Structure 1
Amino acid sequence: MTAKALLFRGFEELKDTRLSSSEVNDLLFTFYLKNACPQHLTWSLKKIVQLTPRLPEVIVPFKNARFLALRGDDKEKMEFSLADLPFLNPFDWISLFNILSREQKYQPLFDHVKRMLGYYILEVAKLDVEVAGVLDKVPLTVRRPPPKNLNKRKIGKIVNSNWSVAYNSKEGLENVKRIFFLLDKHLYRTPVLEHILHIINKLPSNTADDKTCINDMLRWYIEFRKRILAIIPKVFDRQTSEVKPEE
């Protein structure tokens, strides 16, 4: 995660001071150290279905605020604060963003979450080809080169030594054999990922364990990408020439 995603806590409180970057970092480190819970107490895959913000509390030099959340179908109770945001599931940030945006009285808390979510999305854009395209950027990573034996590979067959799959790509009037690496999933567009799922699942020679591994990873990643793409228009000011989180 970018350091700016953590610096969001200091933008408003320290913006008019003459503190150096190292002094700001020290203050923020102390803030998180004293006020954040261990990650195993805050991380959860259960969706936040209800959120009750508490009154802000002043913790020099920053303000903090606590939340009571109900998660999942069983409405499990969980408390956390702004200091815990870096250690929550990123899907929680989207839930917080949507819930806090509904009422004007939560605007200061909403601004904090929006700023952090914006910098997180910019980090995703450094890796993900579709997110980068929406933000007019180019991913910083490139796909792995194809193996020398690509022409001998069977379409749809999973090679679990490097978790790769050969597939055909329609280019003009021809089908061109390509290679998919699971580790490079962020560099393939969603239709390609869905095509990979289709061809591996219909090939009987793929083992159930191998198919489960790729199915779980790709279905999760497709859903993750959809949520990020859906929230981008709400987080970023698309009217400016420079893409940055609104402040």
Structure 2
Amino acid sequence: MQKIYFKKLVDLNHQLKELVSISVDESISYKMENQGMRAVGSIMINGEYKDDQTKNSFHETIDLDILAQFEKITDKRDFHVKVEDFDYTLNDGNLTLVIQACIYGVQDDEDRVIETSAIPQVPIDDEDIASEIEELLREEEVAVPVNETIEEMPPITEEPVILESPKPQEMTIKEKIENHDDEDDDEDLGTYYLYIVQDGDNYQSIAKHYQVDEYQLKAYNHDRPLTQGTIVIVPYYS
């Protein structure tokens, strides 16, 4: 079994005074492909909250597109993704969620944390953006040149789909989030990345950034429409 923790910021414009209700569910379909089995769908977050005067509702989704390679699958009949638990905190009138999803039917592996919250749009020097991208790529041990000048490049989140290092012991959600930023993962984490689509992205811009063929990228993702927050699988070819 593989655990993935999704960290999601629900932006309520700092109006949340009291959380009335919240639910987290998944809606996922499965199919077999040449490389393995794919799970495609969404984690749906629904809730109600009160501001100073009225009751309001919110609806958020986290798009999923997970490919489990055959060598990682232990039971094809049991392969499925399920939301098992979630926790939340109230932060300055907004809501931060940590959602635990489990991938069943695959080998036991190290837990992963994926940040899905939108990063605030603040002015950032081109040099800082280049350094951030270079550091992310270095973690995956992929040598990709970074241009000195990058104009309005959106933040990039990259996560491997299936990992290869077994986790020695369990951690609580709180411990996992606190330790995630300090971990230095130097192992080869596979040949796929997850890219969270930002406003203005399209297949052409993503393919150009990762130096992959645009039509192959569309084929991997079944030419799905891209909206902000959609997760795109990006293959890596050495």
TM superposition score category, shorter chain reference: under 0.3
- Return the structure number with greater strand share: 2
**RCO higher in structure (CA 8 A, sep ≥6):** 2
- Return the structure number with greater helix share: 1
Structure possessing the higher radius of gyration over alpha carbons: 1
TM-score for both structures, normalised by structure 2: 0.25
TM-score for both structures, normalised by structure 1: 0.25
